[in-house]
Chains A and B, each alone.
Chain A
Amino acid sequence: MLNFVVRRLLAILPVLLAVSLLTFLIASLLPGDLAYVILGDQATPENVAALRRDMGLDQPLWWRYLSWLGHVLQGDLGRSFRTGQTVLQAVAERIPVSLELMLMAEFIGLLIGVPVAIACAARAGGAFDRFMTGSAFAMLSMPSFLVAILLIYLFAVELHWLPATGYVPFTEAPLANLRFFVLPALTLALAEWPGIMRVLRSDMIATLQEDYIALAKAKGLKPARILFVHALKPSSLTLVTVTGINIGRLLGGTLIVESIFALPGIGRLLVGAIYTRDLVILQGVVLLVACGFVIVNFIVDMLYAVLDPRIRHGHA
C-alpha cells in the first residue's frame, strides 16, 4: 500500500512540472506586452524599456520561466500589479466561496444521481429507467446559464423563496450564506447528476450481470444488500473518477455560475484577471487550480485502492 502511494506521488511530479510550464507559456505568449498594459497609452518607449528591464521581460523565455518557477517553489507566486495583493492572498480570499459551492453542488449531484442510477440499473429497460435516462439526456443538453435563469425566475422571482444573487460569509450569517448558495449549487448539480447517473447506471448494469451477483442471489441475500453491498462498490470506480474530475473542475470556480449569481469565487477572480490583463494573477491562479486538480486526482487514485483490494495489492 505504501509502495502504491509512493509510486503515485512520484508520478505526479512530472505532471506538475508540465502544468507549470503550460500555465507560464499561456500567460507569456498572450499577445500584448505587459509593460504597455501597466503603463497605459501614455507610455514612452523609454518607460516601457525600463519597466521591461525591471520586470525581467527582456530576458529570454526559458530564463523567465526558470526564475518564475524558482519563486513559485519558494511559495512566491507574485502579486497583482493592480491591487498589490499577492496571488496567495487573492486565492485564499476567494477559495472558501468556490469550495462551498463545489461541495454543495457535488453533494446535491450525488444525492440525485446515485439513487436514480441504482433504481434505473435494478430495473434496466423499465419505464422508470427509460424516463430517467431521457430526462438526464435533456438536462445534460441544457446550458447552465439557461438553468440558472430558469431557477432564478422560479425560486427568486415567482416564489420568493430564495435570493437571486449575493453573498455573505458563512461565519457572519450561516443560514443566509446557505440560502445564497442553494440556487447556484442547484444549477451546477442539475448539470452534474446526469453524468453521475449515466456512468453509475451503466457500470451497475454490467456488474449486475456478473457471476458473483448471481451467487449473491443464490445465497438468498436481501435485494438491498445485493444492490448496495455487492454491486455498488465494484461499480463505483468510474463514478469516483467522474466525481473527482467534477470536483477538480468546480474547484477552479465556475465562471458562468459565479458571474450570474454574483459569488466572489475563484471563477470571478479569473474573469476579472482576464478583463484587466492581470497576467500575474491569471498565471498564479491557473497554476494553483491545476495543482488542486492534480491533487484531487491523486486522492481519487487512492480511493480506487480503498474500493478495490486488487489495486491495493498490485494485482490490477
Chain B
Amino acid sequence: MSAPLLTIEDVAVELPTPRGNLRAVDHVDLSLEAGRTLGIVGESGCGKTMLSRAVLQLLPKKAKLTGRVMFDGQDLVRLPSESLRRLRGRDLAVVFQDPMTSLNPVLTIGTQLMETIQEHLELDAPAARKRSIELLAAVGIPAPEQRLAQYPHQCSGGMRQRIAIAIALSCEPKLLIADEPTTALDVTIQAQILDLLAREQRRRHMAMIIITHDLGVVAGRADEVAVMYAGRVVERAPTQALFKRMHMPYSEALLAAIPKLETAPHTPLPAISGRPPDPTRPLKGCSFAPRCRYAASRCHEAKPDLKSAEMPDHLYACFYPIQMAEGIGA
C-alpha cells in the first residue's frame, strides 16, 4: 500500500452563527490513495460540502478549521496562501455542483480555460489554446474551436458541466473533488457526466472525491464510500463491502430512500422521518438516535466511536449495528 495522497486528520469546521457556533464538520478522518475514488454520501447539511471546502481551503472567512489536511506531503491548513494558490488548479482541482453559476458569465469559455493553463503551466497563448481545444474535445464537446469564443450562457447545463470538468482537468491534477457534479443536471445527462469523470480519472490516474446525496451515484464508481451524518463520518467501507452489508442504520435508511424500479406505483418512499439535529446544539448521544428506529437508551447517552468489527476496513459508528449477512448477531 502506497502512502495516501490525501489524509484528512481530525478535521473540524465551526461556523459562527447568531445562534451560536455551528459545528459543520465534526472531527473527520479520511484518507485517499493516488488514483482511487472516494465517495462521500450524506443528506443536505451533513457537512460533506464543508469538508470538501476545508480540503480546498475555500471555507468562508469566519469559519474555524482545526485538524490537518495532508495533501502530497504538505499540510494544506498551514500552507502559506501563495503556495496554496500554486497548488490549486494544478494538483488540486474541483468541479462544483451548479454549472449555471460556477462559470463566469462575462468571460469566454476560452479565457476561463486558458487562464488556468497559463497560470500553472509554462505555455504561450497558442499552446494554451491548442490544449484547451484538446481538453474540450476530450470531455465530449463538439466543435471545440468555436466554443472557445462563446460565453457560458450559450451552452446547455450539461455542456457547461463538461466545460467545468475540462477546466478542472486542464493541468492534470492529482486530486479532483467533484462536489455533487450531477445534482443540477437533467437525469439523462447525469450518467454521461459521471461516466466522463470515471473515464478521465482512469486515463489520467488521478484520485477523485465524489460528493453526493445519492448512494446510487457512488455505487459502481467509488472504491470506498464514507457516509456522513451531522458532520461526522458514521460509516466507511470499501464500496462493495458497504453495499453488501450496511452496519449503520443511517446508511440503510439512505439506501432505502432511493426509489426502485420494481416498487409498485404509488408506494410511498420510505423517507427518513424527522430532521437532522440542530448543528448549533450538539447532542450528547448519537446524532442519528432521534431518527433511528433501532435506537436504545444507550444511544441517547453516549456517542459511538467510528470503529471496525469483523472487517478491518469497514468502520461504523453504532452501538447496535444492523447486520445484513446471516450468522452475525447484533
Q: How far is the CB of B187 from chain A (nearest CB, A)?
A: 22
- Is B58 an interface position by the 8 A CB rule? yes
Q: How many residues of B contact A (CB 8 A)?
A: 29
Q: How far is the CB of B23 from chain A (nearest CB, A)?
A: 22
- Is A217 an interface position by the 8 A CB rule? yes
User: B74-106 toward A: CB 8 Å interface, digit per residue (1/0)?
Assistant: 000000000001111110111010100111111
Q: How far is the CB of A233 from chain B (nearest CB, A)?
A: 5
- Is B323 an interface position by the 8 A CB rule? no
- Bound complex: CA of A214 vs CA of B179, how far in Å? 13
Q: Does A309 lie within 8 Å of B96, measured CB to CB? A: no
- Is A4 an interface position by the 8 A CB rule? no
Q: B58 touches which one: A212, A217, A307 (CB < 8 A)?
A: A217
Q: Does A217 lie within 8 Å of B88, measured CB to CB? A: yes
A223 CB contacts on chain B under 8 angstroms:
85
Q: How far is the CB of B126 from chain A (nearest CB, A)?
A: 20
- Is A221 an interface position by the 8 A CB rule? yes
Interface centre among A211, A215, A221, A315 (most CB of B within 10 A): A215
- Is B245 an interface position by the 8 A CB rule? no
- Is B240 an interface position by the 8 A CB rule? no
Kindly report which residue of chain A lies nearest to residue B95, judged by CB atoms: A215
- Bound complex: CA of A225 vs CA of B111, how far in Å? 12
B115 CB contacts on chain A under 8 angstroms:
219, 221, 225, 229
Q: Does B105 lie within 8 Å of A219, measured CB to CB? A: no
Residues of A contacting B: mostly: helix
B120 CB contacts on chain A under 8 angstroms:
220
- Bound complex: CA of A53 vs CA of B293, how far in Å? 98
- Bound complex: CA of A247 vs CA of B149, how far in Å? 33
Q: Does A233 lie within 8 Å of B88, measured CB to CB? A: no
- Is A295 an interface position by the 8 A CB rule? no
Q: Does A211 lie within 8 Å of B101, measured CB to CB? A: yes
Q: A229-B107, A310-B105 are in contact. Are A221 and B153 (CB under 8 A)?
A: no
A220 CB contacts on chain B under 8 angstroms:
85-90, 116, 119-120
Q: Does A233 lie within 8 Å of B106, measured CB to CB? A: yes
A215 CB contacts on chain B under 8 angstroms:
94, 96, 102-103, 164, 167
- Is B319 an interface position by the 8 A CB rule? no
Q: Does A234 lie within 8 Å of B105, measured CB to CB? A: yes
Q: How far is the CB of B109 from chain A (nearest CB, A)?
A: 11
Q: Does A218 lie within 8 Å of B88, measured CB to CB? A: yes
A310 CB contacts on chain B under 8 angstroms:
105, 151, 153
Q: Does B105 lie within 8 Å of A308, measured CB to CB? A: yes
B151 CB contacts on chain A under 8 angstroms:
309-310, 313
Q: B116 touches which one: A210, A211, A221, A234 (CB < 8 A)?
A: A221
Q: B102 touches which one: A212, A221, A222, A229 (CB < 8 A)?
A: A212
Kindly report which residue of chain A lies nearest to residue B98, judged by CB atoms: A211
B308 CB contacts on chain A under 8 angstroms:
none
Q: A residues near B, CB below 8 A? A: 210-212, 214-223, 225, 229-230, 233-234, 307-310, 313, 315
Q: B residues near A, CB below 8 A? A: 56, 58, 85-90, 92-94, 96, 98, 101-107, 115-116, 119-120, 151, 153-154, 164, 167
Between A and B, 20 residue pairs with Cβ closer than 8 Å are A210-B101, A211-B96, A211-B98, A211-B101, A211-B102, A212-B101, A212-B104, A214-B96, A215-B102, A216-B104, A221-B89, A221-B115, A221-B119, A225-B115, A234-B104, A234-B105, A308-B105, A309-B151, A310-B151, A315-B153
Q: A221-B115, A313-B154 are in contact. List 8 more A-B contacts (CB 8 A).
A: A212-B103, A214-B102, A218-B56, A219-B89, A220-B86, A221-B85, A221-B119, A233-B107
